[in-house]
Amino acid sequence: MIEERRKHPRIETQLPLKLFAQEADFITQSVNLSCGGVLCEINEYIPVMTRLKILMLLPRGRKRSQKIECEGIVVRIEPDQPQNNRNHYRVAIFFNRMKKTDKAKIAEYVRRQKTDTSSSQS
């Protein structure tokens, strides 16, 4: 059995994201999320250690979302299968600056999703 080494629980979820780098901005969505960071896909290479401003929309009820603004650092980037003849990269971002209240909102969202997933599998 493989032991989970992550500090924060992680869920697969597709949330809208905007990433703001010095060279370019990206509109994308998450692949997975935890309080510690997010994995997403973009169509341009950005170097590891690139600092980003991040805007994400976290669902809050059926028709409402809450805006989370934070900063992160690219800790890993991997080429993925090209889509529509364009390069495609999976980017792991570590959250290095976030309000405690926003971190708590993400933690609650992750907890709720994990609970919903485990109860639907029963």
What values do phi and psi take at 98, rounded to 5? -155, 140
Per-residue pLDDT of the chain (122 residues; tens, 9 = 90+): 444 455 778 899 999 999 999 988 999 999 999 999 999 999 999 999 999 999 999 988 777 889 999 999 999 999 887 666 778 899 999 999 999 999 999 999 999 888 876 555 55
Please tell me whether residue 90 adopts helix, strand or coil conformation.
Answer: strand
Ordered domains of the chain (ranges, CATH): 11-117 (2.40.10.220)
Q: Which two tokens stand for residue 18?
A: 């905007």
Tell me the C-alpha distance between 16 and 59, whole Å.
10
Q: Tell me the whole-structure pTM to 2 decimals.
A: 0.85
Tell me the C-alpha distance between 69 and 5, whole Å.
26
Work out whether the CA dihedral 29, 33, 35, 36 comes out positive or negative: negative
